[in-house]
Copies of this chain bind each other. A is one copy, B any other.
Amino acid sequence: MTWRSHNGIPIHVLAQAVQGQLSGPGEVMITGVSSLEGATSGDLAFVAKPNLVQQARRSKAGALIVAQPLPGEQRPQIVVSNPLYAFAVIASRYFTPPPPARGIASEAVFGSDVCIGPEVSIGPFVTLGDRARIGARVTLYPGVYLGEDTVVGDDTVLYPHVTVLRGCVIGARVTIHAGTVIGSDGFGYVQHQGKHQKIPQLGNVVIEDDVELGAHVTVDRATFGSTIVKRGTKVDNQVQIAHNVVVGEDCILVAQVGIAGSTTLGHHVMIGGQAGLVDHLHIGDFAKIAAGSGVTSHVSSGQIVGGRPAVDHATWLKSQVLVHKLPEMRKELRELRARLDQLEEQLAASAKKKA
> Can you name the residue of chain B whose Cβ is closest to the Cβ of A195?
B232
Cα distance A276–B175 when bound, in Å? 26
Judged by a CB distance under 8 angstroms, whether A49 is at the interface is: no
* B161 and A163 within 8 A (CB): yes
- Judged by a CB distance under 8 angstroms, whether A294 is at the interface is yes
Residues of A13-30 contacting chain B, CB below 8 A: none
Q: Of A52-60, A70-78, A182-190, which binds chain B?
A: A182-190
Q: Across the interface, which residues of B come within 8 angstroms of A195, CB to CB? A: 232, 250
Docked CA distance A332–B337 (Å): 9
| Residue numbers in B under 8 Å from A82 (CB-CB) | 190, 192
Q: Check B336 against A337 for contact (C-beta < 8 Å).
A: yes
Stretch in contact with the other chain, from A114-122, A132-140, A221-229, A297-305: A221-229
A178 interfacial by beta-carbon distance below 8 Å: yes
**B184 close to A181 (CB less than 8 A):** no
Q: Which of B178, B224, B294, B326 contacts A163 (CB 8 A)?
A: B178
CB distance from A253 to the nearest CB of B (A): 9
- Max chain B Cβ within 10 angstroms of own Cβ: one of A109, A124, A167, A326: A326
Please tell me if A50 contacts chain B, counting CB pairs below 8 Å: no
Q: What are 25 residue pairs bridging A and B, where the CB atoms are less than 8 Å apart in the complex? A: A2-B202, A3-B166, A3-B204, A33-B202, A35-B224, A38-B224, A38-B225, A82-B190, A88-B190, A88-B200, A143-B143, A179-B179, A181-B216, A181-B237, A184-B214, A194-B250, A195-B250, A196-B250, A220-B237, A240-B256, A240-B273, A255-B260, A292-B308, A323-B323, A332-B333
For the complex of A and B, list the 6 residue pairs with the smallest distance between their C-beta atoms, beginning with the closest. A322-B326, A184-B215, A127-B142, A145-B160, A181-B215, A218-B237
